[in-house]
Amino acid sequence: MLAEYIGTSRYRNVFGAALPEGPGHIGSRAEEGPMADAPAHDEVLDAKGLLCPMPIVKLAKFVKTMDPQKVVLLEATDPGSVPDVNAWAKNTGNPLIHQETVDKVMRFWIQKA
Amino acid sequence: MSSLLYVHTGGVNNPERSATPIYLATTAAAMDVEVGIYFTVNGPTLLKKGVPETLIVPKFDGNGAPLRRFIDQAQDMGVKFYVCQPSLDLHGLEKDDLIDGVEMIGGAAFNDMALEADQVICF
């Protein structure tokens, strides 16, 4: 999972600049990964391909295991995910701090309260 | 904590109605809502041992999933399942005929739950 996200905003944020291309390096996934100005995250939760209610169930279970203030990046393709994650965040008190949709992949940055 | 009580009256003769209350309840539990499902009228037939594994929740393309999957998700998230005796009698069922994790209540307890819940949602 680490390697998969090298070249995305998290690593740009950590290192101040995109990592150079090199052997074994996946390279920029700008069109597939989060946008450059996205907030940093601590964990990635892949819910792509899962249908309602599984992205929310997976998110709820995962957030319970996280330390307060940590940020999880949830990726989902269920078409109802934007209203669903907003409703979940509102009701559980874990703030949704950022959201992006690129093509059909919705990304949510959720901070554990 | 908010609470929701679902009332599930659908039975084995309406597979297309079987899963929706259960996965909505699962979603509510994931939202930190206290959730129960009260299976009444035909609802208890869904909880008879062996039924959840064989009852397929239909999908337009024929790739339905067994009801068991939805029940497992709900129970895993802490959704409580309730039945009452008269609706078991309706179908000749005993408590022992039902899958694990189902609690027997009566009409008074159901009404009390309904009064205590923030909302009651009926199917």
| Closest CA of chain A from B107, distance in Å | 30
Residues of B numbered 60-79 whose beta carbons fall under 8 angstroms of chain A's beta carbons: which are they? 73, 77
Range of the domain at B42: 3-122
- Please tell me the predicted confidence (pLDDT) of residue A29: 46
Residue A24, helix vs strand vs coil = coil
Q: Which residues of A touch B33 (CB under 8 A)?
A: 91
Once rounded to an integer, what is the mean pLDDT over residues A62-71?
97
> For A1, which DSSP code?
-
Q: Which residues of A touch B32 (CB under 8 A)?
A: 60, 91-92
pLDDT tens, residue by residue, A6-50: 334 333 333 333 444 444 334 334 446 788 789 999 999 999 999
Minimal CA–CA distance to A80: which of A108, A107, A52, A105?
A52
**What's the per-residue H, E or C state across A65-113?**
CCCCCCEEEEEECCCCHHHHHHHHHHHHCCCEEEEEEECCEEEEEEECC
Contact criterion met (CB below 8 Å) for A43 and A51: no
Inter-chain CB proximity B26 and A57 less than 8 Å: yes
Superfamily name with CATH number, domain A2-111: TusA-like domain (3.30.110.40)
Q: How many domains does chain B have?
A: 1
Confidence of residue A53 (pLDDT cuts 50, 70, 90): confident
From the candidates A51, A52, A60, A102, give the one annotated as an active-site residue.
A52
pTM comes to 0.79
Give every CB contact of residue B76 below 8 A, 6+ residues apart in sequence: none
Inter-chain CB proximity A57 and B2 less than 8 Å: no
Q: Where are the domains of chain A?
A: 2-111
CATH number for the domain harbouring residue B31: 3.40.1260.10
Give every CB contact of residue A25 below 8 A, 6+ residues apart in sequence: A6, A7, A19
Q: State yes or no: ipTM above 0.90.
A: no
Taken as a whole, chain A contains a residue count of 113
Give the C-alpha distances (Å, rounded to integers) separating B117 from A58, B4, B9, B60, B109.
25, 5, 19, 35, 12
Phi first, then psi, for residue A58 (nearest 5°) are: -65, -45
- Please tell me the predicted confidence (pLDDT) of residue A18: 41
pLDDT tens for the 123 residues of chain B, in order: 899 999 999 999 999 999 999 999 999 999 999 999 999 999 999 999 999 999 999 999 998 999 999 999 999 999 999 998 899 999 999 999 999 999 999 888 999 999 999 999 999
